[in-house]
Amino acid sequence: MNGSDDITEPGIIEVRHTADGVEIDLMLPDDLFYFRGHFPGRPILPGVVQIDWAVRFADRYLNIGIGSAQNFQVKFTSIIEPEQPVTMVLQRSADGKSVRFKFQDKSTILSSGSIRLEAPS
């Protein structure tokens, strides 16, 4: 369990709004809570955290309604390490029923996926 002083979100360097979404430059401090013990000697950002951040930031910047996030698909292609410059790209589909996301380091895609949005009942 994390304490109140634990860092659980990345630092935000810059936010750029696009026609269908947002690009967010992130700073991942080496003392980020999620790097602890994952893995000793070579910390990497857990995949579940990447999905969580995609949902949270899509809610924050695209107003998706966090409760509507369902059916996640994700592909991890490279690890994300402490202090690595990372950009999170979030794009809402034209029909508003999904959000695509990717984490990239310059032009290399580190992970990508989609979040299906269910209409509130």
| Angle formed at CA 72 by CA 6 and CA 66, multiple of 5 degrees | 60
pLDDT string in tens for the chain (121-residue length):
555 579 999 999 999 999 999 999 999 999 999 999 888 889 999 999 999 999 999 999 999 887 778 888 999 999 999 999 999 999 999 998 899 999 999 889 999 999 998 865 5
Residue 48 DSSP SS3: helix
pLDDT digits (tens, 9 = 90+) for 35-61: 998 888 899 999 999 999 999 999 999
What pLDDT sits at residue 3? 58
What pLDDT sits at residue 39? 84
What pLDDT sits at residue 37? 84
Please check whether residue 95 is in contact with residue 119, taking contact to mean a CB–CB distance below 8 angstroms.
no
What pLDDT sits at residue 87? 98
Whole-number Cα distances in Å, 32 to 4, 17, 36: 13, 26, 7
What pLDDT sits at residue 121? 54
* CA diameter of the chain: 46
Please check whether residue 87 is in contact with residue 23, taking contact to mean a CB–CB distance below 8 angstroms.
yes
Q: Domain residues of the chain, as ranges?
A: 11-23+42-117
Where are the strands (E) in 1-121, listed by range? 11-17, 21-27, 69-76, 86-92, 98-105, 108-117
Q: What is the CATH number of domain 11-23+42-117?
A: 3.10.129.10
What pLDDT sits at residue 4? 56
Rounded to two decimals, what is the model's pTM? 0.89
